[in-house]
Amino acid sequence: MGDGPVIPIQPADGNEPTPDEVPLVPEQATGPDAETARWDDVEAVRHEPDPVRQAARATELINECGRRVTELAALRRTAIERAHHDYGLTYADVADFLGITRGRIAQIRNGRTDN
């Protein structure tokens, strides 16, 4: 990436929050009391002796992870648009920085995301 464009630290208006001020997941999607899946939860499911409880908890974690993937996909789509509009990057530049193809950028921008 040494030959690519230089990304400014702040957009021209300088009013963007710093990364530690922006929540990873939008607050409206995940409330303060929401349960958060952790890798420890996966290990607990792995060691659950009761197969019905194991399957039920695995389903809960899969559903939670699916919600997170949806939220993160939306955040990524917005970040790509911001990089283009706020920083003046082409979508090809953004693709190069993310290490994905230009076609994948087009899919993400159009809401066709598998992850």
Could you tell me if 75 and 68 are in contact, meaning their C-beta atoms sit under 8 angstroms apart?
A: no
Of 67, 48, 68, which is closest to residue 57 (Cα–Cα)?
48
Residue for token digits 């002796």? 49
23-65 pLDDT, tens digit each: 444 444 445 445 566 778 888 999 999 999 999 999 999 998 8
Q: What's the length of the chain?
A: 115
Confidence of residue 3 (pLDDT cuts 50, 70, 90): low
54-81 pLDDT, tens digit each: 999 999 999 988 998 999 999 999 999 9
91-113 pLDDT, tens digit each: 999 999 999 999 999 999 998 76
Confidence at residue 23, expressed as pLDDT on a 0 to 100 scale: 44
Residue for token digits 């230009």? 102
Burial class (CB in 10 A: 0-12, 13-18, 19+), 61: middle
Q: Does pTM top 0.75 for this prediction?
A: no
Token digits of residue 32? 């303060």
Neighbours of 80 (CB within 10 A): 20
